[in-house]
Chains A and B, each alone.
Chain A
C-alpha cells in the first residue's frame, strides 16, 4: 500500500509541477544527429520482376532536437527520420523515431510519447525485443525500429528495475515495395493489413519488465500482452495480382534474457514463450562471445561469437531462426579511428541456407564515418523463406555525417 501511495503521489506531483517547471528553470537546447549517403551494388539483377537493377542510391537524415530543464529532471526529445531511395518507393519513407517527454523524480522515471526501447543480449537475432516494430525496409538486419507511442513508468529499487509500459497504438511493419530488393516473390500489401482485434491498430498493449544485475549476471524477465509485431501473411488477389496481406494477431508473450559476464566470456540466452489463438510455442537464441585481448602485443582484440537459434515449431516456424547456427568474428583495432571488422555467417540446419555478412567501419574525421557491408546468400532449398534472397548478394557503402 505504501508503494501505491508513493506512485499516486508522484504522478500527482508530476502533473502539478509541470506548469511551474517551464517558468522557473533554465531550458537548455541541443541539436545533434546524422545524415547518410548509401550506395549499393548487387552482383546480379533480382529474381523477380521490377528488380532489374544492380545499383541503388539512397540518402537519409535523422536529426535530434533535445530540450532539458529542471536541472535535467525534465527533458524532451524530438527525432524525426526521413529516407529517399532511388528505386523502392516503400523505402522512401519518414518516421518519428522519438517524440517524448521524460520526467525524473529520484528513482522514478516517467516517459510519455513516441520512443524506442531495446531488450536483449544476443547479437545475430533479437528474439525478446518486442516493444518497437521493425522498420525492415530501412535495414536488413532488423535493428532499425519504428517509434512506438507509449507511457512508461520505471522504478529503480535495490531489487532491480521495474518497468510498466502502456503501448497506445500499433505500428505496422514496413516491407519492400514492388521495386525493392531483398523481398519475396509476392509483394506485401501494407495498405490491406488485417487484425485479430476489433480495435485494429488502436489496440492498447501492455508490458511489464523486471531487470537486475547480480554479480556477473544481468537478467531480465517480461510479460507482454497485445498485438504481435510479427505478422502472419494471407495471400489475396488484388486487381488480378496475388499479394500478401499482413495479419496481426493478439498474443501473450513471456520473455527472459540473461547474460553472464565472466572474464573474457559473455554467455548469452534469450527465450520466449508465446501464446495466441493460432499457436503456442517456445523459442530461444543462445550462445557466447569470447574475446582475445591485445592480439600479438597490439591494442587489437578479436572476439569470437557462436549462437544458435531454435524454435519449437521447427519447419512450421514463421521465424527465420528456427534451427540456425551463427558464427562470427569481430576484429577491433582500438585505434583512434575505431576501426572494426565483423564477419558473420549463418547456416540453416533444416534448409541448408547459408549467408555471409562482412562489415567494416572506421571514423574518417570528427564528423564523418564510413562503413562497408557485404552480404552473400546461398540457398539450396526453395522451401526456405530465405531462398528468395538468393540473387541479392550485395556490397553497400555508407558514408555518414554526424553533427
Chain B
C-alpha cells in the first residue's frame, strides 16, 4: 500500500506544481506515462528544441589536469553542420599543442550505426579513414571520450525517467540513459535536464562494470539566435583516476553559411 500512497502523493504535488507552472505542457500529459516513455519524451524535447540551428563555428580550449595537478592545453577550432534526418557533420582543426598543429578531423555522425571519420596528417599530407569503433577512447588524451563529444541523437539511447529534483537551474528532470551502441564505454548515464529550457547541466557516467566513472558539470549557458543554448564551460572529473578536463568554448557563430561542400576530404586537407 505504501508505494501506491507515495505515488499518489507525489502525483498530487506534481499536479500542484504543474498548475502553478502551466507553461510546462509535458508535466500535464506525462504523469500517466511509464518511466521509459517519460524519459524518451524528455530526450525528444531536448532534441526538438535544438533543431534548425543550421551550422555553427567556435573555438575550444581544453585544459587537461592529472592527479598531481600538472596541466596541458589543447586548442581546437570546430565547424559543425546540422544534417536533416541524420547526425551532424563536423570538421575539427587542431592548433595546439604545436606538434599536432594542422591535424584535422572530419566526421559524419549517424544516429544509428558507425560514424564515418577521417583524419588528416599534415606532415605526410595523408588522409586516413579511421575506425569509429573507438567511441569509448579518450579524445586527445583528455577525460572526454569521442562519444561524449558527439552530437546528441535520441536514437543513441533508451531512457528511463527517475525523478525531479532541485538543481542549479531550478528544477531538473533526472533521467537515465542506456547506450544502444554495444561499443559504448558506459552501461548508463544519469542526466540532469532543466524543466524550463531542457538543457543538460550534469551527467554521471557509469563504466562497463556499472561503477561511477566520471561526472560532467556544465555551466554558463548562452543563448543564440534567441533560441539555442550552448554551454561555455564544461568540467569532466574522472573519479577513478582523479584526472580532470575543462572545456572552455569561445563565443559561437551561427548560420555562418557553411554547407555540405565544406565537409569533404578536400576541405579536410586544406583546413588550416
Which residue numbers of A lie inside 8 Å of B, CB to CB? Answer: 30, 32, 34, 66, 68, 72, 75, 102, 104, 106-107, 109, 116-118, 120, 143, 154, 156, 161, 211, 213, 216, 218, 259, 261, 263-266, 291, 293-294, 297, 299, 301, 334-338, 363, 365-367, 369, 400, 402-403
The CA-CA distance from A218 to B126 in the complex, in Å, is 13
A403 in contact with B98 given A156-B261, A336-B72 (CB within 8 Å): yes
Q: List the A side residues contacting B131 at CB < 8 Å.
A: 261, 263-266, 291
Task: Please provide the chain B residues from 246 to 272 with a CB less than 8 Å away from any CB of chain A in the complex.
Answer: 261, 264-266, 270, 272
Instruction: Report whether A143 and B124 are in contact in the complex, using a CB–CB cutoff of 8 Å.
Output: yes
Instruction: Report whether B114 and A154 are in contact in the complex, using a CB–CB cutoff of 8 Å.
Output: no
Name B141's contact: one of A116, A216, A338 (CB within 8 Å): A338
Name A291's contact: one of B72, B102, B134, B261 (CB within 8 Å): B134
Task: Please provide the chain B residues from 155 to 175 with a CB less than 8 Å away from any CB of chain A in the complex.
Answer: none
Instruction: Report whether B142 and A336 are in contact in the complex, using a CB–CB cutoff of 8 Å.
Output: yes
- The yes or no answer to B37 lying at the interface (CB within 8 A) is no
The CA-CA distance from A72 to B258 in the complex, in Å, is 13
The CA-CA distance from A72 to B126 in the complex, in Å, is 21
Residue contacts A-B, CB under 8 angstroms, 11 given: A32-B101, A107-B261, A120-B126, A156-B261, A211-B265, A213-B129, A261-B132, A265-B131, A301-B137, A336-B141, A402-B98
A366 in contact with B96 given A117-B125, A118-B124, A294-B137 (CB within 8 Å): yes
Q: List the B side residues contacting A72 at CB < 8 Å.
A: 272
Interface string of B106-129 (1 = CB under 8 A from A): 000000001010000000111001
Instruction: Report whether A402 and B261 are in contact in the complex, using a CB–CB cutoff of 8 Å.
Output: no
Q: Top 6 A-B pairs ranked by shortest CB distance?
A: A402-B98, A336-B141, A118-B125, A366-B97, A118-B126, A402-B99
- The yes or no answer to B133 lying at the interface (CB within 8 A) is yes
A293 in contact with B125 given A68-B272, A263-B114, A337-B141 (CB within 8 Å): no
Q: List the B side residues contacting A291 at CB < 8 Å.
A: 131, 133-134
Instruction: Report whether A104 and B270 are in contact in the complex, using a CB–CB cutoff of 8 Å.
Output: yes
* Residue from the set B64, B126, B261 with the largest chain A CB neighbour count within 10 Å: B126
Q: How many A-B residue pairs have CB under 8 A?
A: 96
Interface residues on chain B, number (Cβ under 8 Å): 37
The CA-CA distance from A263 to B116 in the complex, in Å, is 11
Measured CB to CB, the nearest residue on chain A to B245 is A336
Q: List the B side residues contacting A116 at CB < 8 Å.
A: 125
The CA-CA distance from A216 to B98 in the complex, in Å, is 32
A106 in contact with B261 given A259-B129, A266-B131 (CB within 8 Å): yes
Instruction: Report whether B98 and A367 are in contact in the complex, using a CB–CB cutoff of 8 Å.
Output: yes
- The yes or no answer to B30 lying at the interface (CB within 8 A) is no
Instruction: Report whether A336 and B64 are in contact in the complex, using a CB–CB cutoff of 8 Å.
Output: yes
Instruction: Report whether B137 and A299 are in contact in the complex, using a CB–CB cutoff of 8 Å.
Output: yes
Q: List the B side residues contacting A117 at CB < 8 Å.
A: 125
Instruction: Report whether B133 and A263 are in contact in the complex, using a CB–CB cutoff of 8 Å.
Output: yes
The CA-CA distance from A75 to B133 in the complex, in Å, is 36
Instruction: Report whether A294 and B141 are in contact in the complex, using a CB–CB cutoff of 8 Å.
Output: no
Measured CB to CB, the nearest residue on chain A to B102 is A32
Q: List the B side residues contacting A363 at CB < 8 Å.
A: 97, 99
Instruction: Report whether B96 and A334 are in contact in the complex, using a CB–CB cutoff of 8 Å.
Output: no
Instruction: Report whether B98 and A266 are in contact in the complex, using a CB–CB cutoff of 8 Å.
Output: no
Q: List the B side residues contacting A403 at CB < 8 Å.
A: 98
Instruction: Report whether A402 and B134 are in contact in the complex, using a CB–CB cutoff of 8 Å.
Output: no
A137 to chain B, nearest CB (A): 18
Task: Please provide the chain B residues from 13 to 66 with a CB less than 8 Å away from any CB of chain A in the complex.
Answer: 64, 66
Instruction: Report whether A334 and B138 are in contact in the complex, using a CB–CB cutoff of 8 Å.
Output: yes
Name B134's contact: one of A107, A301, A335, A367 (CB within 8 Å): A301
- The yes or no answer to B185 lying at the interface (CB within 8 A) is yes
